[in-house]
Amino acid sequence: GLPRQSGLYGLKVWADGLNNAHRLQPRSVSADTRNAPDPRHHAAVRPNNGRMTSSPPPPRPRVVIIGCGFGGLEAARALSGAAVDVTLIDRTNHHLFQPLLYQVATASLSPADIASPIRTILRDQKNAQVWMGEVVRVNADDRSVHLEDGVVVHYDYLVLATGATHAYFGRDEWA
């Protein structure tokens, strides 16, 4: 399951646990299975009518991260080396470094200096893919995320990193 620790350190501990899960599962040994290949190993070679074939790899856990702000990107990076398939979903195709927005407003920086495409940020992470879409519903019973365009994404683990919004306490003229 998910880590008991809170914060990104707990996510990293959980990801490390996924990578080492095969070491934690006991395997019974009997006389007839002592030299057999481990059935959990994805490259186990088995005979097939005299020919050797490899079995298909077992499905890897699917982690869906909703939101590609600071929290979503750090969660994806924490899972970089894990044996999982990571899908990031955000309604924009870029990450905005909000702490420097004031410098764009004062013309000290160009907007391109504080916004980067999410795919560019994660281009070296082989287990991650980025989808642009707006999540309209999460169904925890069947572990699925429903996007506005009708696409349904299934997950084994879900990370909600949707960020925050501005609050002007009923004083919209402050915006």
Residues 58-116: pLDDT tens digits?
789 999 999 988 899 999 999 998 999 999 999 988 888 888 888 888 988 888 888 88
More confident residue, 55 or 65: 65
Task: Please write the tens of the pLDDT for every residue from 7-34.
Answer: 444 555 455 555 444 433 333 333 443 4
Q: Which of 84, 116, 115, 117 is nearest to 101 (CA)?
A: 115
Helices first, then strands: H and E counts in the chain: 5, 11
Q: How far apart are the first and last CA of the chain?
A: 42
Contact (Cβ atoms closer than 8 angstroms) between residue 48 and residue 38: no
**What beta strand segments (E) does 55-166 contain?**
62-66, 85-90, 94-96, 115-117, 128-132, 135-139, 144-147, 152-154, 157-160
Measured between alpha carbons, how far is 75 from 135 in angstroms, rounded to an integer?
18
Give the tokens for residue 52. Answer: 């050797």
